[in-house]
Amino acid sequence: MRALILASAALLAACSAEPDAPATKPSGALQPVSITLPAETAALPATPAGELVTQRCTACHSADMIARQPPLTAEKWQATVTKMREAYHAPITPADEPAIVAALVTLQGAPPPR
Ligand code: HEC
């Protein structure tokens, strides 16, 4: 028992021995890390359709994510837009949906984002 207590004391002492140890030592403590994300440069076209979709969809998605969806029919886009509104609370009213769906279909013919 005495040996165990001594060993524990030695471990505790080791833990607090070097409070300013360099971060490269594997101390077991979590270290803050900072990362720099690349700026998003892709944008939807500066047309009424592009601006409407940017306004209604890019709070949660990148422009790239919207633009790179496979070509969808108006019915499929309608289902997606309704799902965004109902399931994910996108800031869209049912009355907005026809214009947004039309804009999404229009954008499919546009060149990929810059
Ligand atoms: C309030 C946030 C929010 C807004 C605004 C939003 N979405 Fe989403 N969207 C989500 C979430 C959350 C998912 C699910 C992501 C996952 O499952 O990984 C998603 C998924 C998707 C998907 C993937 C397929 C699917 O059905 O899950 C598509 C396509 C999509 N959104 C398109 C749109 C379009 C187009 C708009 C604009 C009309 C839009 N979203 C607006 C939150 C949002």
Smallest Cα–Cα separation from 67: which of 89, 92, 97, 40? 40
Task: Tell me, using a 6 A CB cutoff, whether residue 80 lines ligand 1.
Answer: yes
**Percent of residues, the chain, with pLDDT higher than 70:** 72
What's the pLDDT score for residue 38? 82
Ligand 1 atom at minimal distance to the Cα of residue 83: 26
Q: Select from 52, 54, 60, 69 the residue to mutate for testing ligand 1; criterion: most ligand atoms less than 8 Å from CB.
A: 60
List domains and CATH numbers for the chain.
Answer: 48-107 (1.10.760.10)
Rounded Cα distance between 48 and 50, Å, is: 6
Please tell me the predicted confidence (pLDDT) of residue 1: 46
Evaluate whether 42 touches 67 at the Cβ level (below 8 Å): yes
C-alpha 36/C-alpha 25 separation (Å) is 24
- The pair of structure tokens assigned to 54 is 């940017």
- Report, as ranges of residue numbers, the positions in the chain whose pLDDT lies below 70: 1-27, 110-114
- Contact between 40 and 66 under an 8 Å Cβ cutoff? The reply is no
First to last CA, the chain: 71
